[in-house]
Amino acid sequence: MSDSHDTPRMASFEEIDQVLHHHQSFVLLSHVRPDGDAIGSQLALGYSLIAAGKNVRLINEDGLPENLAFMAGAELIETPPSEPLDVEVAIALDTATKQRLGDRALNAASKAKIWLNIDHHVSNPGYGDLNLIDSTSPATGQILYQLITALGLPLPAETRDAIYVAVSTDTGSFQYPSTTATTYDLAADLIRRGLDVGTINSNIYDNHPYRRLQLMCVLLNSLERTPDGKVASWEMRDQTRIELSLTPDDSEGLIDYIRAIRGVQVAVFFEELSDEKIRVSMRSKDRRYNVCEIASEFGGGGHALAAGIRMRGPLEDAKALVLAAIQRRIDSAGI
């Protein structure tokens, strides 16, 4: 597997087609704490390959999130087996660095002779033998739609629905600036192919457990803004996770509520984890406040408008360091 930090050479669709055509066994992986784009990408490509007659395993370190269990074919998502799988090709999807796949998932895929890396994170160093990274794409699901349709691969109902979930969730339901006419064309084509857009949107956006609202109450009570109103942040203690019996997906998307505050340019969610690390999620409304560059100062990454960090605690120290870095960026931007 390539670990070069140089700009990776992008594989052509034809090169990827050769790998998919000439090999029979595949393991598809996505990042820890998977979101809709991660799981959606696995299911989309996985069911396309299965329909093409391939042997496919779909592995995620943390398994299937409860909020995505409604997806057709989601039962194929499994946690890593203890022994490495006997597969020819490993495909990492929507995962900026190979470490984000998780140690057990990496062990499960360790016998693979070829690694494909398909992603849309600008911070991805290109760790695959073949890399397909398009940081202009709003979702890995959109890249896969383009790949599947260009290569004439099967597009069964499970793939159709999974692409929509992947793209919808990573574009904020087609609202984020990365959404393009191509993205809307993709959605229109999926609807023409039989997508039940109303039911899927209801399952994505209108089907949350009560504990998520309880979490929202806790977060709102911790909400802080800088004096100029440009930065809003809130925090979640690990004790809250225990008391409310939270799962990782319960907090998915909640940061958008404080990002939407008028005048706020950068929103930050500080989450205390059980291993004493701090998970930091950042969202920006303006590319001049590039949160990916801020995250990279602490070993994190992502996109200009959405990025994350996992750093040492305690929470108070992490919070002070990150907020100071954000303030430096705002001051230097001079907006």
Query: Hey, how many other C-beta atoms are within 10 angstroms of the C-beta on 153?
Result: 19
Tokens of 281: 């999620």
Least confident of 18-22, 95-99, 147-151, 273-277: 273-277
Indicate the pTM of the whole model: 0.90
pLDDT for 5 equals: 43
For residue 225, the SS3 value is strand
pLDDT for 7 equals: 62
- Separation between Cα atoms, residue 60 and residue 77, nearest integer Å: 7
Distances (CA, A) of 310 to 1, 43, 283: 24, 27, 15
Closest by CA to 280, choosing from 238, 309, 321, is 309
Tokens of 70: 């409604």
Domains of the chain: 13-205 (3.90.1640.10), 210-333 (3.10.310.30)
Interval 130-141: pLDDT, tens:
999 999 999 999
What are the DSSP calls for 82-131, one per residue? SS----SEEEEES-SSGGGG-HHHHHHTTT-SEEEEEE--TT----SSEE
Asked if pLDDT for residue 2 goes beyond 70, the answer is no
- Separation between Cα atoms, residue 314 and residue 268, nearest integer Å: 16
Tokens of 305: 């408008």
Interval 274-307: pLDDT, tens:
888 999 999 999 989 999 999 999 999 888 999 9
- Separation between Cα atoms, residue 335 and residue 331, nearest integer Å: 8
**Per-residue pLDDT averaged across 64-85, rounded?**
97
The mean pLDDT value of the chain amounts to 95
- Separation between Cα atoms, residue 233 and residue 281, nearest integer Å: 10
